[in-house]
Amino acid sequence: MFNTVIGDTKNNDNLNHICVTASKDYILRILAMYYSLVTHSKNFKLWVCCMDQETISFLKEMNFQHMVIFSVKEVEDINLRLIKQQRKLNEYCWTLKAPLIHYLLTRYNLESVLYCDGDIYFFSDPNEIFEEWGNASIYLCPQRDAEWVEKKYGKYQAGVIGFRHDTIGLESLKWWQKKCEEWCFALPDKERFGDQKYLDEIPNMFSNVRISEHLGIDAAPWNCIYNNNYRIEKKNDSLYIEKNKLVAYHFACFSIFNEDEFDLWSLDTLKIRSTIKNNIYIPYIEKIREIIQDLKNRGYDVNHFYSKKSNVKSYYKYTTFRRKMDQTDEFYCMATIISKEYLVKGLAFHQSLLNLGDEFHLWICCMDSESLNILSKLNLKNVTLIPVSEIENNMIAKLSEKRSLTECCWTMKAPLCEHILKHYSEIDYIIYCDADMYFFSSPKPILDEWSTYSIFLCKQRSTRMIEHKHGIYQAGLLGFKREENSLKILKWWKEKCLEWCYDQYEDDKWGDQKYLNKIPNKFINIKVIQNIGIDAAPWNIVMVDGNDVTRKGSRILIENTEIVCFHFGSLLMLSENEYDLWKLEELTFTKSILKNLYNPYIKALQQKYEELLSIDNTIHYLSHTAPDYTPMNVHKF
């Protein structure tokens, strides 16, 4: 008969005893926990209660020195085996905690046992836990969560909990076990939730309880990433939460799909600060990747250790590019479309991003071979070039027979965004900008306002006549997330533009833009940007009475709101020194608007124009005009 207890069960003195339950879908996490203990402790023993035969067999082959493995059958009695048939695996594992700890304390006469969930990972010596615990009979860790959460799910965390082999410890275990056998389910029920809400009563019912005050013990998403504003910083190669060294982090709701793809928080989309991501999540991910590679090298099939979940919330793909993105709390993923006529403007747009820092990447769809060749020679920083043929095969060749270059560019916006989200799965979103956009300050307000919405749109904020003809939203700046609803909207917009996209008003349509009117009514979770400094433009500043631009230090303001980006639409480069600021009709550009917006932009255009001429002076980089064209708003600079 197969031995169901494997490992050294006798030499238990002067050790920190930790126990955990494990099933095959938790094997990678258990290995990560074990290796983290080996790294940081010399006096521990990990007792693993295996929920299936595959886990026992696997861990037996691994033959870990500081691990004792045993079958759940060692713990179960008739009542537990009956309960097992009525509960899900996770609920049954919760039910098992109290009898498991009781079994170890009494069967092997251990002084104390600390239970840890299988997704706990140690960043420093667990002895700090046992030192804080001291001689108390019971050791509890507060949730340190929002008040409503603690009221619903409990004040204390059942993922790290300890009991001593004394009268109070054993009595409290028996009480907890009885409660969990009566009811232990994942859906909250009045004053109950799983095995955890019962813990609220322990300090009231039993004495000699130690409640942890150490912020680095059972740190977790709910008390580090949100609901608290703790200072988290690296000091002397250790991570500190306030004044407490990080000891154990609870990687709850963390899923492993393969060695490169993970869900960092499966309950919702979670934004994780770079300090936490780089110093907590990445070390954990890299350890799991190392474990997977080691198992592969040993000939193990690791595929059945992976999560099979499909509804991913906080997707993370480990790549070199993703690691670059992780180095900052704000990284901007942007896309634009450039033809040879828009090379100068596109380079100015790119330079405006560079002026603000290195925390961005720009994907450029090149509409012709000239723009692709020139941009390839420039080797632009933080840029990926995409030939238009790579996105939709020969679609543009067919469309160009009926559509102008401008109309083809409009048609390509949605396919470009869709292509980037499909082929660069490590990014969470893409912001499309027309190439004649220019950033005067950080794009951060865009992300802040976009927040958890699927897509964002910018209002025209223009005259009634313009909005009637061209739409109430602007297609020159909009963003799409990597999530189901957003991709559904993007696909709808793409199909509409492929069907019809012309520079004329027809049947309540105009270009790619008038379709946007329907999106907020047709789809959910849409963010309409309210910040008037985002996508400021001639049609909502120059053409609207009372809007003027001022400067305060380095900040350019409209109505006391800092201008983030300005859309220099319908601006023509007639020569290096002569520009038509608005080709469609005569407008009044104030001195302040010229000084603070147009002159800096034109200066950037001139610099890029000279740069392009030095590379290839055979290409016509200036704006093309019709033979009967008459300049409307000439500005010499």
pLDDT tens-digit readout, 299-314: 999 999 999 888 889 9
Dist. CA 108–CA 236, nearest whole Å: 39
Judged against a pLDDT cut of 60, whether residue 270 lies above it is answered with yes
Distances (CA, A) of 355 to 307, 384, 446: 42, 18, 18
Q: The tokens 């608007």 sit on which residue?
A: 593
Judged against a pLDDT cut of 80, whether residue 2 lies above it is answered with no
Q: What are the DSSP E strand ranges found in 142-266?
A: 160-164, 209-211, 217-219, 232-235, 238-241, 244-245, 248-250, 255-256, 261-263
Rounded mean pLDDT, 74-102: 97
Top-confidence range, 267-276, 383-392, 522-531: 522-531
Q: What share of the chain is helix, strand, coil (3-state, %, to 5)?
A: 40, 20, 40
Give the contacts of 366 (CB within 8 A, at least 6 positions apart). Answer: 338, 339, 372, 375, 385, 386, 387, 388
- What's the half-sphere exposure (Cβ side, CA atoms, 13 Å) at 509? 13
Q: What are phi and psi of 232, to 5 degrees?
A: -120, 120
The strands making up 217-219's β-sheet, listed across from edge to edge, are: 120-122, 248-250, 217-219
Residue with the bigger pLDDT between 493 and 630: it is: 493
Predicted local confidence at residue 564, as pLDDT:
98
Rounded mean pLDDT, 71-88: 96
Task: With H, G, I as helix, E, B as strand and everything else as coil, classify residue 211.
Answer: strand
Where does the pLDDT of residue 407 fall: very low under 50, low under 70, confident under 90, or very high at 90 and above? very high
Judged against a pLDDT cut of 90, whether residue 620 lies above it is answered with no
Which helix (H) or strand (E) element contains residue 324?
helix 320-325
- The lowest-confidence range among 131-135, 582-586, 592-596 is 582-586
Judged against a pLDDT cut of 60, whether residue 12 lies above it is answered with yes
Give the contacts of 85 (CB within 8 A, at least 6 positions apart). Answer: none
Write b or e for each residue in 203-217: b if 16 or more Cβ atoms lie within 10 A of its Cβ, otherwise e: eeeeeebbebebbbb
Q: What are phi and psi of 227, to 5 degrees?
A: 75, -10
Predicted local confidence at residue 3, as pLDDT:
63
Rounded mean pLDDT, 363-384: 96
Predicted local confidence at residue 229, as pLDDT:
85
**Tens of pLDDT, residues 538-561:** 999 998 877 789 999 999 999 899
Predicted local confidence at residue 456, as pLDDT:
98
The residue type of 48 is: V
Predicted local confidence at residue 547, as pLDDT:
77
Predicted local confidence at residue 393, as pLDDT:
67
Predicted local confidence at residue 404, as pLDDT:
93
DSSP class of residue 330? -
Judged against a pLDDT cut of 60, whether residue 1 lies above it is answered with no
Judged against a pLDDT cut of 70, whether residue 524 lies above it is answered with yes
Rounded mean pLDDT, 84-102: 97
DSSP string for residues in 332-394: EEEEEEE-GGGHHHHHHHHHHHHHH-S-EEEEEEESSHHHHHHHHHHT-TTEEEEEHHHHHTT
Ramachandran sector of residue 202 (left: φ over 0; alpha: ψ -120 to 50; beta: rest): alpha
Distances (CA, A) of 245 to 37, 116, 125, 215, 506: 16, 18, 10, 8, 65
Domains and CATH numbers, the chain: 5-318 (3.90.550.10), 330-530+567-576+600-621 (3.90.550.10)
Judged against a pLDDT cut of 50, whether residue 217 lies above it is answered with yes
